[in-house]
Amino acid sequence: MSLTAKILLGMLLGIILGSIFNSVFQDNLPSFLNFFSEFIDALGSIFLSLLKLLVVPLVFVSLVVGVSNLTSDKQLLSISSKAIALYLFTTALAIISALFVSSFFEMANGVSMVSDSSFEQDAIPSLKDTFVNLFPSNPIEAMAEGNMIQIIIFAMLFGYGVNKISNETSKVRSFFIDLNEIILNIVNFVIWLSPVGVFCLIFSTFSSLGISIIFTLINYFLIVVGVLIFHAAFTYSLLLTSLAKINPFIFFSKMKEAIIFAFSTSSSSATMPVTLKTVEEKLGVDKSVSSFCIPLGTTINMDGTAIMQGVATVFIAQVYQVDLSMMEYLMVIITATLASIGTAGVPGVGLIMLAMVLQQVGLPVEGIALIIGVDRLLDMFRTALNVTGDLVITKIVNSLPINLIIFSSLINLSHVLHQK
């Protein structure tokens, strides 16, 4: 049995057994089964910690190796400009799709504005602080906190320095290449444990929440999942076919292991070791491209989260009977797209971003409490889409000729100026 099949089996067993535990025992769990449940939960937490343990060293070392291997500064500029442009473009498309589709459905039927859950809003940084915080003042602190954007910027600068002083026989470059191989061997070991880890994580989620929670907000849940599937099946397939010249069915077949992993962990960051390994080995993406695009995508590519924000904004507006204007819809698109920059790829971060979006259009932040119940399950779906987007854009950037996007933008600009 292949590793992907084992992971899928572990996920299905986790859903079935976890749902049975929740529906049969609920709060009356016998002591020996309670011990079993806590043991499974502990194993899942350990597995997740092992994955997160690898993220910072893997990102830093692989990016240093990738940048040090680049032949010119122009190549680095080309990779970064294409990746950032595509990530922001797909995020904007995602939230436009979510707002457009959800506006045709009445999701608030039977939903009360009173909820047992609550949402405490954290302080939202200003646009200036968000931009300033992209650049590290202390790289060690950035690594300790797992601040991915700051780690990426420091690693790029460090790799650039290695690139300028090193040659094929450089001891510094050889050290990082060897260190990268060591980390990849550890990644292989953790991936070997993944079927058990995935089972434990899924079991813990469904034993605590149960599958019945989906039916309390069934309209909202189905629309979010539907738009997520549409974005993956249509938008990504169109981009892969037109820009990367690859059959979407072949692509998704090769990437299913990373996508299942993302679904299980609900964390783009925790999935990163698997994502990097998969995109390099199964898609043949150059390490200099993958080591930059995947960590960057984990931070700024939030297509799944953007879709949730779009549908949730319309849902909360319907609950509170607020009609949103076209200008407010535009504000949602701009805010959600820009808010994706610098957001950590960890479980639950979408709710913090949603609070920012709701504030911009004058909707009560308290409305988030209505969707908290199903958000943990939806987080699994949207993380899978986020990671899929990382894989798609990385493959496209690897396939596109240098400066294609910049050239296309200049052509479009010249048409606009000519019309004026």
The pLDDT score that the predictor gives to residue 406 is 44
Cα separations (Å) of 361 from 98, 304, 354, 357, 412? 16, 21, 11, 7, 31
Domains and CATH numbers, the chain: 3-419 (1.10.3860.10)
Residue range 186-206: mean pLDDT, rounded: 83
Q: Which of 310, 331, 333, 313 is nearest to 323 (CA)?
A: 313
The pLDDT score that the predictor gives to residue 41 is 86
Q: Is the pLDDT of residue 26 over 70?
A: no
Q: Which of 400, 391, 319, 333 is nearest to 361 (CA)?
A: 333
Give percent above pLDDT 70 in the chain.
Answer: 81
Tell me the pTM: 0.75
Q: Is the pLDDT of residue 420 over 50?
A: no
* CA 388 distance to own-chain centroid: 8
Most confidently predicted of 45-49, 209-213, 216-220, 348-352: 45-49
| Distance in angstroms between the alpha carbons of the first and the last residue of the chain | 62
The pLDDT score that the predictor gives to residue 127 is 61
pLDDT digits (tens, 9 = 90+) for 337-394: 776 665 554 455 567 678 778 877 888 877 787 787 677 788 889 889 999 999 999 9
Helix 73-102 to helix 303-319 angle, to the nearest 10 degrees?
Answer: 30
Query: For residues 49 and 344, what is the distance between their CA atoms, to the nearest angstrom?
Result: 16
Residue range 142-167: mean pLDDT, rounded: 80
Query: For residues 215 and 217, what is the distance between their CA atoms, to the nearest angstrom?
Result: 5
The pLDDT score that the predictor gives to residue 239 is 92
Give me the helices (H) in 166-301, please: 171-192, 194-209, 218-230, 237-239, 248-265, 268-281, 287-300
Residue range 158-178: mean pLDDT, rounded: 78
Q: Is the pLDDT of residue 216 over 70?
A: no
The pLDDT score that the predictor gives to residue 187 is 80
Q: Which residues touch 182 (CB under 8 Å, ≥6 apart)?
A: none
